Amino acid sequence: MNGYNFQISGAELTALSSGALWWADQRLLVVSDLHLGKSERMARRGGALLPPYETSETLTRLDADIAAMRPQTVICLGDSFDDLAAAELDDTHSLWFARMMAGRRWIWIEGNHDPGPLGLGGEHRADLRMDALVFRHIAVPGTTGEVSGHYHPKARLAGQSRRCFLIDNMRAILPAYGTYTGGLASQSTAFSDLMGPEALAVLTGKTAQAIPMPR
């Protein structure tokens, strides 16, 4: 397992190089902002035409994380689909989800793009508290023990922009897991009221690499 270990509110967590979060004590895997169906949504609304392969590519990576970690519970932290229409999956992708979900608890957290796919089963929550941690889509300033997504954070190292976790003593903000997702630089003022002075950016990619959060 390639990851960076850290602690929030007494919970021992691992930021995986894939962009997923692992909580070993709970056998819990967390991913955020899959944005499945983005190419279809853009084409439907007259936007740029992108190769329509991102759903399969994103599910392939998620499937690999599930096979490697064997979680008892999976949490999708919102914006799992790019909009409600994109949640209408074809048979291949629906069966793919059914196989990944089989035998484990699967929780869809409500995002600002979608409330979670009602046709795929699992639990649907606005947020979820588990022991000392709370899982939600968008971070709330002043909250302790928070795991969220939404912002798609990125940070630069050696001139290269990479998706990253943002981590401090109070919270972790996860990178976007989906293939066709943009990002918000860690220097953005959106993070000013959220991340403490000790915050780290944990870059994803071949390895999980922690650096002081660029500001």
Placement of tokens 């979608």 in the chain: 114
Residue 144, number of CB atoms within 10 A of its CB = 12
Can you say whether residue 28 is alpha, beta or left, with left for phi > 0 and alpha for psi between -120 and 50 degrees? beta
pLDDT band at 82 (very low <50, low <70, confident <90, very high): low
pLDDT reported for residue 43 = 41
Query: What is the C-alpha separation between 19 and 29, in angstroms, rounded?
Result: 11
User: Cα dist. 62→36, 107, 134 in Å?
Assistant: 12, 15, 22
The average pLDDT across 116-125 equals: 83
- Per-residue pLDDT at 50: 43
pTM, two decimals, is: 0.91
Residue range 164-184, pLDDT digits in tens: 999 999 999 999 998 767 799
Give the pLDDT band of residue 185 (cuts 50, 70, 90): very high
- What pLDDT score does 114 carry? 67
Q: Is the pLDDT of residue 96 over 60?
A: yes
Q: Side-chain half-sphere of 82: how many Cα atoms within 13 Å?
A: 21
Axis-axis angle for helices 54-69, 91-101 (nearest 10): 20
The predicted model gives 47-61 an average pLDDT of 69
And the tokens for 129? 């508290």
pLDDT at 45 over 50: no
Give the closest residue to 107 by CA, choosing from 50, 163, 23, 214: 23
Read off the pLDDT band of 53 (50, 70, 90): low
| Three-state DSSP state, 85 | helix
Domains in the chain and their CATH numbers?
3-212 (3.60.21)
User: Average of pLDDT values for 191-203?
Assistant: 96
* d(C-alpha 212, C-alpha 201), whole Å: 6
